[in-house]
A = this chain, B = another copy of it.
Amino acid sequence: MVKFNSNYKNLKPSYLFSDIARRVSEHVASTGAKVIRMDIGDVTQPLSAPIVDALIAASQEMGKVSTFRGYGPEQGYAFLREAVAGYYAKMGVELAADEIFISDGAKSDIANITDLFDNENIIALPDPVYPVYFDSNLMLGRKINLIQGNRENNFLPMPSSIAAADIIYLCSPNNPTGAVYTREQLKEWVDFALENNAIIMFDAAYEAFVRDNIYPRSIFEIEGARKCAIEFCSLSKTAGFTGLRCGYTVVPHDLASGSQSLNKMWLRRQTTKFNGVPYVVQRAAQAVFSQEGLRATEDTLNKYLKNAHLISASLDEVGAWNTGGKHSPYIWFACPKGMASWEFFELLLNSAGVVGTPGSGFGKCGEGYLRITAFNSYENTLAAMKKIKEIAANL
């Protein structure tokens, strides 16, 4: 008799986004008022011209027998792995092309990487947290320790606050808080991992938003990280690939235990359980790393960052404690007067028609905070911040 995976019974259904959607539509139905969505977790700017051109050229190749491409290498075409290696080289990080695995996005890889590890490992996750780290481990019945993020540590928990951990998830710039680890802070984490023979799963999906060299964009900028870290990155937020699906994962050759190399294990995992990213998407991704592609990407990132800076500055103006928004499209702030996340969400929606994301949806430590994002237009962001300032002034 077939036995299902009973760990799935322990997963809590996530109602966060459906709850928000329901409350917003009820508000619109009863008031007829327009709302400004400051809870958008997706890019809104279209793909840039060099990327679209590459997509179209590759699509045309696929229609001719002489240039048609069937199965590609599961780990990605060399032209793209080399382009990614070149991108890392500019940060001063030297990677071999076979340490880079092209994927359909950081989410898939960060969830599937669990395949390489024994279920007896102790998992350490920050709270608040991107739910994928939590749920992908809960599905395997693994023991999870939460590391508290709070105002005292600027939502950048440090190793001193955990007892034991075999696998540690870090995300910087952080989703959902936008907080960014400095070089020294990441060094502490790397040292902790090395001392404890732990592995760091480093989610660098928002690296392209970093605008100051005191914040590493890759964990491999830190000495020793090659011996204890796997890095996940994505073109989703960097270049608007949320609907096109392409990311990359770096598994250094140095990660090994006896005869087992994690790089070789991941290669085996991917060749067995994955069949590569569409050729046309890999050509589009290659275009991101071209000179024109990088310039276009920079323009788009600057649009989002302009919004983020406006949000940060507005919150500072009214004395609302906040983090993120300088090297991240996310701004995380304390609800005024110690209000709970959903309480302030409702106030903001009902009195200003502005929608944020309740921090409590990302974990217990998110209670009392709201996340707003920089993905709306500048005009809407300006209007929303004007309203938030008015509310704060009148509380």
Contacts and interface: CB of A to CB of B under 8 A. Distances in A.
A104 B242 CA distance: 15
Interface residues of A, number: 78
Interface in A51-69: 51-52, 55-56, 59-60, 62-65, 67-69
A245 interface: yes
Contact of A281 (B118, B120, B199, B278): B278
A120 B3 contact: yes
A105 interface: yes
A78 to B, nearest CB: 15
A110 to B, nearest CB: 9
A299 interface: no
A9 B55 contact: no
Contact of A1 (B52, B63, B64, B196): B196
Contacts of A115: 5, 139
Contacts of A120: 3
Interface string A237-248: 000101111000
Of A9, A131, A245, A269, the most chain B CB neighbours within 10 A belong to A245
A356 interface: no
Q: Taking the full assembly, how many copies of this chain does it contain?
A: 2
Interface in A103-129: 104-105, 107-108, 111-112, 115-118, 120-121
A47 interface: yes
A382 B47 CA distance: 47
Contact of A68 (B5, B47, B135): B47
Contacts of A259: 9
A240 B272 CA distance: 21
A154 interface: no
Contact of A108 (B4, B242, B273): B273
A6 interface: yes
Interface string A193-237: 000111100000000000000000000000000000000000000
B11 A244 contact: no
Nearest to A69: B243
Interface stretch (A38-46, A170-178, A183-191, A383-391): A38-46
Contacts of A198: 1-2
A243 B279 contact: yes
19 contacts: A2-B199, A3-B121, A5-B115, A6-B260, A42-B70, A46-B64, A46-B65, A48-B63, A52-B62, A52-B63, A55-B280, A56-B59, A70-B240, A104-B104, A108-B274, A111-B273, A112-B273, A115-B139, A243-B278
Interface of A: 1-6, 8-9, 11, 42-49, 51-52, 55-56, 59-60, 62-65, 67-72, 104-105, 107-108, 111-112, 115-118, 120-121, 131-132, 135-136, 139, 166-167, 196-199, 240, 242-245, 257, 259-260, 262, 265, 268-269, 272-281
User: Which A-B residue pairs are the 7 nearest by beta carbons?
Assistant: A111-B273, A52-B63, A3-B118, A42-B70, A46-B68, A70-B242, A1-B197
Given A70-B243, A243-B278, 13 more contacts: A3-B166, A8-B260, A9-B260, A52-B63, A62-B243, A68-B243, A71-B243, A72-B243, A107-B274, A115-B139, A136-B272, A139-B272, A278-B281
